[in-house]
């Protein structure tokens, strides 16, 4: 592999989308990461200008690769490695707004739910 590309699993870890490299590798294997719209293997090289669609479980991102790194640095350095697309920013804001409006049914319960609490949760 030439120096103008980095393994996709290393890049995802260095850009702080995943906590460990093995989690990043599993995500790529599981189809949670797409490079230019295609499923790829963890050893695939990523270059500047590539479009990545990333689903890390809690958030979905669509980013353009701006820089390459195979070492994990600070969060401020990691943010310089990519630019999030406008569509992705709008989608994430919309989902955050929905989470504010529609609260989780069990969120109001403090501690272990009682039998009555559990029936109310099941009813929803």
C-alpha 53/C-alpha 15 separation (Å) is 14
> Domain with 77 in it: what CATH number?
3.10.290.10
Domain that residue 46 falls in: 6-123
pLDDT tens, the chain, 124 aa long: 446 889 999 999 999 999 999 999 999 999 999 999 999 999 999 999 999 999 987 788 999 999 999 899 999 999 999 999 999 999 989 988 887 887 766 666 677 878 888 888 888 7
In a domain, 66, yes or no: yes
Measured in degrees and rounded to the nearest 5, phi and psi for residue 13 equal -70, -45
In a domain, 1, yes or no: no
In a domain, 11, yes or no: yes
Q: What's the structural domain count of the chain? A: 1
Cβ burial of 36 (10 Å; 0-12, 13-18, 19+) is: exposed
C-alpha 31/C-alpha 94 separation (Å) is 24
Tokens 């990461």 belong to residue: 33
């Amino acid at each position: 592999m030439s120096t103008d590309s980095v393994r996709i699993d290393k890049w995802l870890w260095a850009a702080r989308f995943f906590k460990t490299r093995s989690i990043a590798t599993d995500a790529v294997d599981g189809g949670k990461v797409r490079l230019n719209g295609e499923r790829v293997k963890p050893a695939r090289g990523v270059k500047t200008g590539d479009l990545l669609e990333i689903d890390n479980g809690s958030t979905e991102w669509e980013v353009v690769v701006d820089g390459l790194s195979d070492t994990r640095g600070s969060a401020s350095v990691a943010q310089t490695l990519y630019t999030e697309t406008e569509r992705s920013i709008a989608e994430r804001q919309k989902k955050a707004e929905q989470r504010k409006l529609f609260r989780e049914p069990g969120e109001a319960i403090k501690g272990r739910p009682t039998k009555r609490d559990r029936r109310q949760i099941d009813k929803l």
